[in-house]
Amino acid sequence: MALFHLDDRQVHLKIVYYGPGFGGKTTNLQYLHGRVPPRLRGRWIALKTPDERTLYFDFLPLDLATPSGVRARIHLYTVPGQTRFCRSRRLLLRDADGIVFVADSHPGRSAANLESLEDLHRNLLEEGQGDGDIPLVFQLNKRDLDPRIAADDLRRSLGIGDRPCHEAVASRGEGVVETLKTATKLVLHRVHERC
């Protein structure tokens, strides 16, 4: 849920990166952290297990200007992809303004993509939201893999339909900024409609 600070002309928004483990959620935020000038980003926070997997979440705040002159403080979170962290994922979805679903393009990860997407839908319903209630952007990550699932096949299997979707290679930064721009634009549009 967007938070407004009228005195400072700021809106705080929460975008959650969701998807299977090792799909590239953290890599997206790492790339953004390295690319965004320090004056426009806050401190990177990552809670990891000893083997470098996301334990609870990664967090990166960014400051962006909007056409209306209001400053948008975007709080980016990743969820842990491992099945055993279902409660953590549900908690992190609470009050989210937008979601980026990061799908893994490797053929061996099809089941993990679908399981994670079903988990997302289930958690949204438990939080009182349906699919159409929150902006959802898909990112087809690891498009540099060989072999990889054809983009059209991956879109079809995930049921993306006409929802926004970007192909990406997050490790090289390809498609990362475009994905965030699309998510931010949809979230700001939704906030504007509700005001």
* Residue ranges of domains in the chain, CATH in brackets: 3-194 (3.40.50.300)
- End-to-end alpha carbon distance in the chain: 12
Q: For helices 86-93 and 110-126, what crossing angle results, to 10°?
A: 50
Selected residue with higher pLDDT from 153 and 59: 153
Listed residue (182, 175, 164, 186) closest to 27, CA to CA: 175
| Cα 100 from Cα 15, distance rounded (Å) | 7
pLDDT over threshold 80, residue 35: yes
| Cα 79 from Cα 29, distance rounded (Å) | 12
5 pLDDT band, cuts 50/70/90, is very low
Residue pair 15/99 in contact (Cβ under 8 Å)? The answer is yes
Residue pair 187/73 in contact (Cβ under 8 Å)? The answer is no
pLDDT over threshold 50, residue 55: no
Classify residue 157 by its DSSP letter: H
Residue pLDDT, tens place only, 133-166:
899 999 999 999 999 999 999 999 999 999 999 9
CB contact set of 164 (below 8 Å; sequence gap of 6+): 137, 138, 182, 183, 186
Residue pLDDT, tens place only, 61-73:
777 766 666 677 8
| Cα 84 from Cα 69, distance rounded (Å) | 42
CB contact set of 170 (below 8 Å; sequence gap of 6+): 24, 27, 28, 31, 102, 139, 141, 142, 176
SS3 69: coil
| Its pTM surpasses 0.85 | yes
CB atoms within 10 A of CB 157: 14
Q: Taking residues 78-99, what's their average pLDDT?
A: 80
